[in-house]
Amino acid sequence: MSAQNRSDTERRRRRPGGGPHGGLMMPIEKPKRGRQTVGRLWGYLRREKWLMAVVFMLVLVSAGAMLSGPYLIGVGIDRFIIPGDMPGLLMLAMAMIGLYLLGAGGMWLQNHIMVGMAQRTVRDIRKDLFDTIQDLPVRFFDTHTHGDTMSRLSNDVEHVANVLNNSVTQAFNSFITIFGTITMMLILSPVLTVMTLVTVPIMAVITKLVAVRTRHYFGEQQKHLGELNGLVEETISGQRVVKVFQQEDAMIEKFSEHNDDLRDSGVKAQIFAGVVGPTMNVINNLNFAIVAAAGGYLAIQDLITVGIIASFITYSRQLARPLNQLASQFNMVQSAVAGAERCFELMDEEKEPKDDDQAVELDDVQGEVRLVNVDFAYEPDVPVLKNVSLDVEPGETIALVGPTGAGKTTIINLLTRFYDIQSGSITIDGWDIRSIRRHSLRHALGIVLQDTYLFSDSVRENIRYGRLDASDEEVERAAEMAFADTFIRRLPHGYDTVLADDAGDLSQGQRQLLSIARAILADPAILILDEATSSVDTRTEVHIQRAMVELMKGRTCFVIAHRLSTIRDADRIVVINHGEIVEEGSHRELLEAGGFYSELYQSQFERAAS
């Protein structure tokens, strides 16, 4: 069920800057809770804590093996190369090969384990995001672009996946390598170590200065990507409207604007991200020159050996690698944090309230509906319904009539609890709907909307969506009652024909018939028809009306229609204008009264005649 068919007038009242792209420029909060976001990500990784411990041990093994190499190089120079001990040098070379193979094996295994952990973690994040989407109220989807929501579920999660796949073990390895390298350097020569570490604060300052700008522009990049996805999604969905109104050039221009914004933020993000690596290389080369010169002087003074100089230079070069990796990973992490924060923002959106523990299940629904002094507004100080009261008896058919934006569909949105009323009460069989479990309430309701939605599945499964445990025979019977069976059997594979996206290969009338068949199969106690026959031809409408007569027997029915000729046989017609009930009665009674309904009917009759 959905409220997307709400009239444009009502939508504009609660959504500033309405229109097909009114929500694209809604501000998205820039990433600014990095520490909390990283903490929440760690909460997901902590579910794999035992594997994390294994990975950490493998990192220690591989890092330890790699750290042993430079030390053994120095030992080989001092003990074997200078004295000319070839057998000893050969044994040392074999030991080094074994250590490097051990380190490479440990690195491969830790990456293998980490990839599995990362994919499971991202799977859990995607699942939590999708679960959140199912729990969000209709208000959220009415005020947020679908493309931006989809971008959070796809692009932003993918940024997180890339970092978890590549950066977590690298970060572990880098920190351990840095700590181990500095330790070995101190053992070899404290003086050279101090001279080497002078450049580290310079690296830290540069990284911090760049990080602030990088994180900002990565957040801008993610925001503009979401906006661009929203525009693309809306343009593809509304392609017929674009072509009918010849707005191709306008849409291309709008796309170019969003594309340019994305390009500008992307260029800035990548420029700042690219500053760190080259800067670190310059500092590392400077550090190498200092160590070489100072080490040579100490060797001349017989304070250290040539082997120590060789080991130390190797360690100093090795120190640069994890530092560069950390700098590079930091930029990747900035992008991931920006994406993760957008994911968590969606998770933290206000959910549809949970049912109270005392909420009841509706059994054997009779269909008595009461609205008592109902007030409602989508936005504060902009009332849509004002003191609306309505009594509907079981099995009664009520037609809701009025101009666009009068509040007809809003009554349906309140009855289904897509929105909750501000004051007053709505009851079904004497139960306030706020005391009824939502799934039980909506199970009692069957809705056929003007804007149909069909899934990319077979015709049979689209109808079966009304009741998943229905048999094939029940599905086909519902289609026959909706006069859809004939055209279905003419499809290439009949009921097993798989529909394209939103059934674009069917006519609007055929899609409407399938939607009606779905509602028939659901067999609800209360039936809601919101312009249900507006998209079918007159001949098909006659068939549907006959089927609806049988379907509505014994059921409470609410019918919303702009074509007043379709609701003349309703038990009662309720006329709504400016959020208030202005008239009630049968078709004949309202015509004889000569009020608002009579004016509406006469104006439609005159237009049809002309």
Q: What is the CA radius of gyration of the chain?
A: 35
For residue 425, the model assigns a pLDDT of 93
Question: At residue 14, does pLDDT exceed 60?
Answer: no
Please, how many CA atoms are within 13 Å of residue 208, restricted to the half-sphere of its CB? Answer: 6
In terms of average pLDDT, the best of 8-17, 45-54, 459-468, 551-560 is: 459-468
DSSP secondary structure of 339-394? HHHHHHHHHTSPPPPPPPTT-B---S----EEEEEEEE-SBTTB-SEEEEEEEE-T
Most confident of 51-55, 124-128, 215-219, 564-568: 124-128
Q: Does pTM top 0.75 for this prediction?
A: no
pLDDT tens digit string along 383-399? 899 999 999 999 899 99
pLDDT in tens, 438-464: 888 888 888 887 777 788 889 999 999
Task: Look up residue 81 and give its DSSP letter.
Answer: I
Task: Walk me through the domains of the chain, giving residue ranges and CATH numbers.
Answer: 21-347 (1.20.1560.10), 360-444+560-610 (3.40.50.300)
Query: Token pair of 261, please?
Result: 């914004």
Please give the distance of CA 345 from its chain centroid, rounded to a whole number: 10
Least confident of 11-15, 359-363, 457-461, 515-519: 11-15
| Gap between the Cα atoms of 452 and 469, Å rounded | 22
Residue with tokens 């590392």: 284
For tokens 């009020």, what's the residue? Answer: 595
Residue 475 is predicted with a pLDDT of: 93
Residue 257, token pair as written in the block: 């604007």
Q: Give residue 313's pLDDT.
A: 82
Tell me the mean pLDDT in the region 225-234: 82
Rounded mean pLDDT of 22-50? 64
Distance CA 103, CA 100 (A): 5
**Residue 82 pLDDT > 50:** yes
pLDDT at 19: 32
pLDDT tops 70 at residue 18: no
Quote the tokens at residue 32.
């600014």
Could you tell me which residue, 353 or 168, shows the higher pLDDT? Answer: 353
Cα 486–491–494 angle (5° rounding)? 80
Whether the CB-CB separation of 567 and 573 falls below 8 Å is answered with yes
Strand partners for 360: 436
User: Would you say 419 and 353 are in contact if contact means Cβ atoms under 8 Å apart?
Assistant: no
Q: How confident is the model at residue 501 (pLDDT cuts 50, 70, 90)?
A: low
Q: What is the mean pLDDT of residues 82-88?
A: 84
Residue with tokens 């999708």: 130
- Residue position matching structure tokens 């499809």: 491
Is 25's pLDDT higher than 50? no
pLDDT of residue 31: 44
Tokens of 172: 């572990």
Task: Select from 178, 173, 59 the least CA-distant residue to 110.
Answer: 59
- Cα–Cα distance list, 234 to 11, 136, 227, 259, 368 (Å): 17, 21, 11, 15, 40
**Other CB atoms closer than 10 Å to residue 572's CB: what's the count?**
18
Alpha-carbon distance values, 30 to 33, 119, 221 (Å): 9, 26, 10
Mean pLDDT of 217-234: 82
List CB contacts of 327: < 8 A, sequence separation 6 or more. Answer: 203, 207, 276, 277, 280
Tell me what the mean pLDDT of segment 389-410 comes to: 89
What backbone torsions phi and psi does residue 388 show, to the nearest 5 degrees?
A: -85, 125
Is the pLDDT at 249 greater than 80, yes or no?
Answer: yes
- The CA distance from 373 to 418, in Å, is 19
pLDDT at residue 2 greater than cutoff 60: no
- Give pLDDT, residue 15: 35
pLDDT at residue 428, as a whole number: 92
Q: Which of 412, 425, 401 is nearest to 582 (CA)?
A: 401
